[in-house]
Amino acid sequence: MTTAHDPAPPAPATKKDRTHYLYLAVIGAVILGIIVGFLFPAFAVGLKPLGEAFVALIKMMIQPVIFCTIVLGVGSVRSAARVGKVGGLALAYFLTMSTVALAIGLVVGNILKPGEGLQLNDEVAAAGKEQAAGASESTTDFVLGIVPDSLFSAVTSGEILQTLLVALLVGFALQMMGRPAAPVIRGIEHLQRVVFRVLAMIMWAAPVGAFGAIAAVVGETGVDALQSLAVIMFGFYVTCAVFVFIILGAVLKLATGVNLFKLLRYLGREFLLILSTSSSESALPRLIAKMEHAGIDKTTVGVVVPTGYSFNLDGTAIYLTMASLFIASALGDPLSIGEQISLLVFMIIASKGAAGVTGAGLATLAGGLASHRPDLVDGVGLIVGIDRFMSEARALTNFAGNSVATVLIGSWTGGLDRERLDRVLEGREPFDETTMLDDHGSHDDHGDHHPNGAHAPAHDHARAEVPAGR
């Protein structure tokens, strides 16, 4: 029996977030990788498989994450029209922003006039031809490539768009089944939990992967290449920064009132992961989990994020623009305005599906030039040495563009719980690094409802599965 003088029971101890130390280790690994790359370049190049293995482990999880997210998002809404509205608006937005990015790259490239004074020797020309070999792909091949060999191969093929197609079909099928689909949805929820647990385990290898990736790229590139090509690198990084902080920041603030810097801070660990691997795909599964946690519904996240990785190529658009102007100027054959527009629009169309893959931007550039201006292909070799450093900015810009797009589309289609987003961005509802799952239900507590007044069974099940005390 307690009295008024008895001390109050102690508050339950909060569980420490051990992943804080994980990402401090990643930062340390990046710094150590840079030092090793400069001091022992030959040894550093041999560490490249460490980075490649880590990225491969992350990419191994991308398709299961996308499949589960889209099936749960589409299968748990009553109206198929909502999915179509989200997808149509997303594609229109992607096209608009890619055009803006293209225009900014053209303006900055024509002002800086990079590439003047560089010499093209036989070795450099050979490197350019090697990149162009087999890099181009026809529109027909691209469209046919979206269709997988079988229903199950879509989850194992490594092609995001194949997974997107099959997941949408399965989601619509579950949607049409109604109540009998509930056990299937529940099973996929359990599968999603397993997938994110595996992903959380893989993330503990991030410091090793970051060390190997950074050491190798610094060892391969060296100081000389960075100095000789400083103008194009500086111009590209500045252009990407202008696009992200001014263009995307203004659009996000005016359309939703959300502060871009708060959103980028919330996704800080994902940006660090991209910076250390040069691949925006390495952060794709975490972006899906974090966007759902921030109050954006599964349907919007499931459609916008995977589609954006193939069609919202803001960083790649800027890269293709400036690299083309750089090569033409270096070869003494500057492009006229008409040639710039036709060539670069052609390459933007040809680049779909290239986002997130390390080195894909260089292959797209080479393939586009081979198809449209073959006389410029040899010049691709001029930027082979620094492409990995430019790949960093490409991947970071693409990721920032997709993050902003998800918030915007969610806001425009009624799939955003703004109150929850504000709490998350202010740090009052931290992301669970252990499960990486959105357990806030179908936003019932905050008034966000699915079409026709139906709450998503997927969210209801997810909430029921939360362990006591979490």
Domains held by the chain: number? 1
Cβ neighbors of 412 (< 8 A, separation 6 or more) are 89, 255
Cβ neighbors of 399 (< 8 A, separation 6 or more) are 267, 270, 271, 274, 280, 283, 287
Reading the block at residue 29, the tokens are 């690994």
Is 279 inside any structural domain? Answer: yes
**What is the pLDDT at residue 448?**
40
CA angle centred on 375, ends 374 and 377, rounded to 5°: 65
**What is the pLDDT at residue 132?**
53
- pTM, whole model, 2 decimals? 0.76
Is 3 inside any structural domain? Answer: no
- Residue corresponding to tokens 């620094």: 386
403 touches 269 (CB < 8 A): no
Is 345 inside any structural domain? Answer: yes
Helix 360-372 / helix 337-350 crossing angle, nearest 10 deg: 130
Is 268 inside any structural domain? Answer: yes
Using DSSP, state whether 278 is helix, strand or coil: coil
Reading the block at residue 402, the tokens are 């997709």
131: domain range? 90-153+224-464
Is 307 inside any structural domain? Answer: yes
Reading the block at residue 43, the tokens are 């040894």
175/146 Cα distance (integer angstroms): 23
How many CB atoms neighbour CB 325 within 10 A?
A: 26
Using DSSP, state whether 419 is helix, strand or coil: helix
pLDDT per residue, tens digit, the chain (470 aa), is 444 444 544 444 445 567 678 878 888 888 898 888 888 888 888 888 888 888 888 888 888 888 888 888 887 776 667 788 888 899 899 888 988 888 888 888 888 776 655 555 555 555 555 555 545 555 566 677 778 888 888 777 777 778 888 888 888 888 888 888 889 989 988 998 898 889 888 888 888 888 888 888 778 766 665 665 677 788 888 899 999 999 999 999 999 999 999 999 999 988 988 888 777 778 888 899 999 999 998 889 988 988 888 788 888 888 888 888 888 877 777 777 887 778 777 766 655 545 444 456 677 777 777 767 777 777 777 777 677 778 888 889 989 999 999 999 999 998 899 999 999 999 888 888 777 675 544 433 333 444 333 344 334 333 333 333 33
Q: What is the CATH number of the domain that holds 122?
A: 1.10.3860.10
Reading the block at residue 416, the tokens are 């955003």
- What is the DSSP-derived secondary structure letter of residue 465? T
Is 195 inside any structural domain? Answer: no
N residues, the chain: 470
**What is the pLDDT at residue 226?**
62
Residue 244: exposure state from Cβ atoms within 10 A (0-12, 13-18, ≥19) = buried
